[in-house]
């Protein structure tokens, strides 16, 4: 919560510029403040109106303009906050997450990265077409552009890839497969759905249990359509959205 109301410039009640326009410009400046860059709640309307010496209707007129421009959002019983700009990723083609984000000018880093061997569960075994209980490498990564987790991945690799838990997983994953293991990922079979965060995922992404997430299941195949990787991705829905272009058959 912003605690420095005294630092917000006052409006000029003697100016020819309408008060709602002055309030709008001050709100635009307030949006840029670091305190609100992560979607923190704005000062209450009553506090801003009192600070500027204007009616709440005048203030709401200014806020409504910024809401229409998708700069602010109002939530009932919560308040007004800066709209978080979601990262839009395209489902028409695919690549490693690192390369996908780099193409948009975003540099992600690993906040948590762990690799270990596990016994394949029923789902993992089915996706990789192996026996349940067979040992596979599991890679867990929490990633973000800053220190606040934005996405969590679990990757399971088919034993024939030769990947071990001691790899340098700081490299882009599919470059690692190509350069170090002579495996070229070519196809991706994907499922995308909305889920409620489990206690485990909520803790990793630092969100509330039950908060909506985007779950992306991906089975990566090589040229021979043999499974290489089974990947589960959990994306914070306040940061990510997905788009797809579909051509109509004529």
Report whether 81 contacts 43 (CB < 8 A): no
What are the start and end residues of each CATH 3.40.1410.10 domain in the chain? Answer: 87-243
What are the start and end residues of each CATH 1.10.10.10 domain in the chain? Answer: 5-82
* The pLDDT value given to residue 107: 65
Q: Sign (positive/negative) of CA torsion 60, 61, 63, 69?
A: positive
Report which listed range, 128-137, 206-215, 216-225, is most confident: 128-137
* Position 5 pLDDT exceeds 90: no
Q: Which has more confidence, 104 or 186?
A: 186
* The pLDDT value given to residue 115: 96
Mean pLDDT of 189-196: 89
What pTM, to 2 d.p., does this model score?
0.61
Using CA atoms, how far residue 33 sits from 8, 18, 63, 99, 218, in Å, is 11, 24, 16, 30, 38
pLDDT single digits (tens) 28-69:
888 777 666 556 677 888 889 999 999 999 999 988 888 877
CATH 3.40.50.11060 fits domain 5-82: no
Q: Would you state the structure tokens that stand for residue 39, as one six-digit string?
A: 């979607």
pLDDT band at 91 (very low <50, low <70, confident <90, very high): very low
Mean pLDDT of 177-191: 88
Query: Could you give the percent of the chain with pLDDT greater than 70?
Result: 80
Provide the CATH topology of domain 87-243.
Chorismate lyase (3.40.1410)
Q: How many Å apart are CA 13 and CA 44, to the nearest integer?
A: 21
pLDDT single digits (tens) 93-131:
555 555 555 555 566 788 899 999 999 999 999 999 999
């Amino acid at each position: 919560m912003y605690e420095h109301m005294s630092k917000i410039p006052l409006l000029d009640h003697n100016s020819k510029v309408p008060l709602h326009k002055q309030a709008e410009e001050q709100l635009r400046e307030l949006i840029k403040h670091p305190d609100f860059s992560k979607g923190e709640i704005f000062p209450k309307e009553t506090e801003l109106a009192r600070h500027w010496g204007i009616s709440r209707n005048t203030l709401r007129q200014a806020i409504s303009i910024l809401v229409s421009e998708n700069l602010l959002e109002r939530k009932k019983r919560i308040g007004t906050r800066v709209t978080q700009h979601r990262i839009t990723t395209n489902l028409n083609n695919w690549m490693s997450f690192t390369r996908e984000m780099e193409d948009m000018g975003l540099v992600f880093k690993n906040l948590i990265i762990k690799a270990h061997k596990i016994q394949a569960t029923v789902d993992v075994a089915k996706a990789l077409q192996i026996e349940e209980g067979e040992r596979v490498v599991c890679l867990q990564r929490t990633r973000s552009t800053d220190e606040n987790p934005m996405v969590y991945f679990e990757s399971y690799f088919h034993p024939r890839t030769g990947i071990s838990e001691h790899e340098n997983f700081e490299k882009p994953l599919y470059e690692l497969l190509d350069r170090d293991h002579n495996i070229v990922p070519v196809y991706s079979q994907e499922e995308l759905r909305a889920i409620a965060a489990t206690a485990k995922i909520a803790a990793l992404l630092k969100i509330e249990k039950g908060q909506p997430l985007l779950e992306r299941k991906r089975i990566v195949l090589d040229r021979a359509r043999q499974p290489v990787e089974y990947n589960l991705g959990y994306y914070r829905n306040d940061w990510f959205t997905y788009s797809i272009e579909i051509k109509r058959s004529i």
